[in-house]
Amino acid sequence: MVDCGEGAQLGFMRHHLSYSRLRHIFLTHLHGDHVFGLPGLIGTLALNGTGGEVTIHTFEDGKKQLQPIFDYFCRDTPFSINFNIIKPEDAVILDTKSLTVRTVKLKHRIPAVGFIFEEKMGERHINPAMTSYHEIPKAWMRRLKGGEDFVRDDGSVIPNHILTTDPTPPKSYAHISDTVYLPGLADKIRNVDLLFHETTYLEQHANMAAPRGHSTARQAAIVARDANAGRLLTGHYSSRYTDDRLFEKEAKEIFPNVILNREGLVTDI
């Protein structure tokens, strides 16, 4: 989960998301609209009997502010709450067998980062027709997925590429929340499959964007174009606008593959 504003619990229930699957919460920065839903969410996790661990990736100040709240209101949680202290810098903050998470430093009114989620290359896929034809034992399937050639008892070899197909290409997602337009950002998220980049303002109000630590839809589209992103997901719209479609229209003038983000949207990466 990235950020946790007010209404997060309602969002979970409305979209039938499982609380028990939530294990990592990444906070981009410590403004209330990105954090205020967290104490209530942690409390609900406790009421639901969620076990195991929940890791909150945030700055040192985030831990200082949140830990006393959890200690007072959520002292009896059946799970442990861990803090992974991050800094406003470009760094790897999580590295698992299947996923790497990086931060990129953003420029907002307070310290802020974006998050890049990158899948690692997975295993090769078994070709059932060929493994059946060559009578490959089931005990070999794991080794084939790992890339090994099959060796018969007589020493003959069946190359792996005959028995398997290539792994599914790994996907990547960049979440770039509150920030001014950063031209150098594109190089740090190059070729990302899906880019969420805040589009708080339209270009007609560009003079308001930078002083308030935000970007326009046009600027987000420039980042997507320069990064060779697969698609751009808009969002974080200022309430001064009554027609969200204007953000899509402005962004598409620069970058064609735009998804107009709305509450409850589900999109494939």
> Does residue 193 contact residue 168 with C-beta atoms inside 8 Å?
no
Instruction: Check 3, 33, 149, 187 and give the catalytic one.
Output: 33
Active-site residue 193, yes or no?
no
* Residue 175 backbone dihedrals phi, psi, to 5 degrees: -115, 105
Please indicate, yes or no, whether residues 76 and 130 belong to a single structural domain of this protein: no
Q: Residue 177: pLDDT above 90?
A: yes
What's residue 44's pLDDT?
A: 87
- Identify the domain containing residue 153 by its residue range: 125-158
Query: What's the pLDDT band for 159 if we cut at 50, 70, 90?
Result: very high
Q: What is the domain count for the chain?
A: 2
Query: What's the pLDDT band for 190 if we cut at 50, 70, 90?
Result: very high
Please indicate, yes or no, whether residues 61 and 135 belong to a single structural domain of this protein: no
Answer whether residue 200 is part of any domain. Answer: no
Give residue-wise pLDDT tens across range 67-112: 999 988 887 888 889 999 999 999 999 999 999 999 999 999 999 9
Answer whether residue 247 is part of any domain. Answer: no
> Does residue 221 contact residue 232 with C-beta atoms inside 8 Å?
yes
Answer whether residue 168 is part of any domain. Answer: no
Answer whether residue 75 is part of any domain. Answer: yes
Answer whether residue 74 is part of any domain. Answer: yes
Q: What is the pTM of this model?
A: 0.91
**113-132 burial, b if ≥16 CB within 10 A, otherwise e?**
bbbbbbbeeeebebbeeebe
Please indicate, yes or no, whether residues 19 and 74 belong to a single structural domain of this protein: yes
Please indicate, yes or no, whether residues 75 and 151 belong to a single structural domain of this protein: no
Residue type, 138: K
**166-178 burial, b if ≥16 CB within 10 A, otherwise e?**
eeeeeebbbbbbb
Please indicate, yes or no, whether residues 5 and 64 belong to a single structural domain of this protein: yes
Answer whether residue 70 is part of any domain. Answer: yes
Answer whether residue 24 is part of any domain. Answer: yes
Give residue-wise pLDDT tens across range 213-250: 999 999 999 999 999 999 999 999 999 999 999 999 99
What's residue 50's pLDDT?
A: 75
Answer whether residue 204 is part of any domain. Answer: no
Q: Which two tokens stand for residue 144?
A: 């084939």
What's residue 43's pLDDT?
A: 87
Please indicate, yes or no, whether residues 16 and 78 belong to a single structural domain of this protein: yes
Query: What's the pLDDT band for 18 if we cut at 50, 70, 90?
Result: confident
Alpha carbon of 233 to those of 64, 105, 148, 255: distances in Å?
A: 32, 20, 40, 11
Chosen domain end from 85, 115, 145: 85
**High-pLDDT (> 70) share of the chain, %:** 100
Give residue-wise pLDDT tens across range 28-63: 999 999 999 999 999 888 887 777 899 999 999 999
